[in-house]
Amino acid sequence: MGVVSYLSARDEINEVFDANFKQIALLLDRQKNVMVDAGAGISNKKKLKGEEDFLIQFWSPDLKLSYSTHPLIPFVAPDKQGFQTRNFNGEEWRSYATSRNGMTVQVSQPQSARDAMIVEITLKMLLPVLLQFPILGLLTWLAVKRSLGALVLISGSLQKRSATSLQPLPSESIPEEITPLVMALNDLLSRLEEAAKLQRQFTADAAHELRTPLAAVQLQLQLLSRTKNEDERQEAIENLTQGVHRSIRLVEQLLAFARLESEAQPAARIDALKVCREVVKLLTGPAIQKNIDLGISRQEPAFLFTIPGNMQAVMTNIIENSLLYTPANGQIDVAMYTEDGRAVFEVSDNGPGIPPHERSRIFDRFYRVPGNMVQGTGLGLAIVKSILDKDGADITVTTGINGKGARFKVVYPPSPA
Ligand code: ADP
């Protein structure tokens, strides 16, 4: 603002003074006889008195000074008509000259006289602006203090909290500007609270479940120490091995669960039919052992979007269950196809099946259908379910082959091309 004010004041003032010069010169040119005769306004000063004082000179046709308002200032004769800026005594001088009948009038003034006025006008224009700075500053300070005050309060109350206190922050009487922040924080806190609750529940369940197989291992060790002959010893060792094996499987599944909750891998487009064939091939060995007819009854190209490895885990868990629960000489049919742009994976068996009222509960952690004689942890389908939830896929259980057994059907969301 200062620069702009200065530049425009300078332009205006130069214009006004130049116009003044011209007017004075033209007026005097017409009336010079009167002025000279009267000897009016002669000054004995060596300098002009400021912006309102002018040096007026009359020059004869042979450029001899015939009259000057300030004879002690020996300013030079004009070398052309009109406006000029020249150096005189180390200073810039502005002058205007006009002639009539050979007589020349020259009106002059040092530029510094004008400059002083330009600076003065600039300062006067800037003053109101400068005066509003402290007022603006005060208002800004008050506004910022009010908004930050609430933030300081909030951060203070957050600092005092322990890592486990996840209650929402008070949202009343906070400035509008930070309401979205407080809302977002409260949302995060409530999700953290939910996650912490699940974690606690999981740890408790896991500890509870681990106790049973470990207690069994302890019991079998005692039995082993009391065996009387080689046969009993062999049997006890066999039982102990199975007990240890069960504990290891449980720990492995717990680990798989923990990893599922914490790992964030990038998802990719997966060739589902290829994965399906690989999984079935890997499980052919156990199927042959039980003389179960395991095969893919329907195989069509299907693609889906998920984290690599997730689909294997889902398929392996479901087919392994069928292998476990279907008695020897049974049948397991796997199907992989696309329906309405969605990849579908199905496993049907002719085992004992799952009673309709149990079908929703088998996906709960550690839940096993009562009366189940097969060794297990109840974690397999819970792992399957949480993977599918993340993928946005659906899983349903119905009746399997020929009105017997169980059928698990997984429907994935449409895969991006
Ligand atoms: P686990 O097999 O270790 O018990 P899961 O979570 O894999 O745990 O399965 C939960 C329950 O669902 C099992 O205990 C079993 O009762 C039932 N189930 C799962 N798959 C089948 C199946 N193919 N046929 C019959 N019952 C099954």
Query: To test the ligand 1 pocket, which listed residue (283, 359, 362, 410) has its Cβ within 8 A of the most ligand atoms?
Result: 362
Packing angle between helix 2-38 and helix 111-159, nearest 10 degrees? 160
Distance CA 363, CA 280 (A): 22
Return the H-helix or E-strand segment holding 262.
Answer: helix 230-262
The token pair at 243 is 């007990």
H or E, element range at 206: helix 179-225
Sheet holding 82-88, edge to edge: 65-68, 55-59, 103-110, 91-100, 82-88
pLDDT at 38: 46
Task: Output the furthest CA–CA distance in the chain (Å, rounded).
Answer: 156
330 lines ligand 1 (CB under 6 A): no
Q: Where are the beta strands (DSSP E) in 77-233?
A: 82-88, 91-100, 103-110
Q: Which of 367, 387, 394 has the alpha carbon at shortest distance from 379?
A: 367
Cβ–ligand 1 distance for 321 under 6 Å, the answer: yes
Name 107's bridge partners.
Answer: 56, 96
Residue 163 has a pLDDT of 80
Q: Is the CB of 349 under 6 A from ligand 1?
A: yes
Residues 146-161: tens digit of each pLDDT: 878 888 888 888 888 8
CB of 375 sitting under 6 A from ligand 1: no
Ligand 1 atom nearest to CA at 408? 23
Q: Is there an atom of ligand 1 within 6 Å of 316 CB?
A: no
| Closest residue by Cα to residue 128 from 312, 2, 9 | 2
Nearest CA to ligand 1 atom 14: 368
For residue 70, what are the contacts with CB-CB under 8 A and spacing of at least 6?
A: 42, 43, 45, 46, 48, 55
pLDDT at 346: 97
| Ligand 1 site, residue 360, Cβ cutoff 6 A | no
The CA 220 to ligand 1 mean position distance, Å, reads 26
- Mean pLDDT, 10 residues at a time, over the chain (417 residues)? 89 91 83 55 76 86 87 88 91 90 88 88 89 93 86 85 84 81 91 86 81 87 90 90 86 78 75 95 93 96 88 92 95 96 96 94 90 83 89 94 95 83
Q: 200: buried, middle or exposed (CB in 10 Å: 19+, 13-18, 0-12)?
A: exposed
Can you read off the two tokens belonging to residue 194? 């939910």
- Cα within 13 Å of Cα(115), Cβ side: 7
Q: Is the CB of 213 under 6 A from ligand 1?
A: no
Ligand 1 close to Cβ of residue 378 (< 6 A):
yes
pLDDT at 40: 56
Return the pLDDT at 34: 52
* Cα–Cα distance for residue pair 196/325, rounded to 1 Å: 35
Ligand 1 atom at shortest distance from the alpha carbon of 352: 25
| Nearest CA, atom 11, ligand 1 | 368
Among 257, 326, 365, 368, residue to substitute to test ligand 1 (most atoms within 8 Å of Cβ): 368
Closest by CA position to 289, among listed 326, 334, 253: 326
